[in-house]
Amino acid sequence: MGRRELRRDLAVLPMSVVRELTDLSDRQIRYYDQQGLITPQRGAGKQRRFSLNDVDRLIEIADYLDAGYSVSEIHEVDAKKQRKLAEKPEPNEENLRHMLADELLKIGRFNGQRKF
């Protein structure tokens, strides 16, 4: 792999940047962290440092929340996702349907009740 690839897991983004990238409030981002939905790295002074993956994750969380899911339900979705990933690494029909569902959920963000 080349060193030119984007290191999506490198935590270098401060709260201010993530706030704008996700269109979420600091409060919401910290709350999702508290709930264990995200685990940002910490820098000097315990300041959160987010990676590109964290940003994607936050957007995904926001999508689920907008779709009416509760925090605990999102945790269940994660657990289910991990089980599927652990037992069947190869994409089967079931996984593909979940992947499609996730994509539709994201697309729905542009058709749903959002103010933009």
Partner DNA sequence: TTTCTAACA
Partner DNA sequence: TGTTAGTA
Binding site residues, DNA, CB under 7 A: 14-17, 19, 24-28, 30-31, 45-48, 65
CA torsion, ordered 42, 48, 51, 57, to nearest 10 deg = 120
42: Cα separation from own chain's centroid:
18
Least separation in angstroms between residue 106's CB and DNA is: 17
Nearer to DNA, 48 or 57 (CB): 48
Nearer to DNA, 64 or 84 (CB): 64
- 65: its two tokens: 């929340």
Using the structure block, give the residue that is written with the tokens 């990933």. 85
Least separation in angstroms between residue 12's CB and DNA is: 12
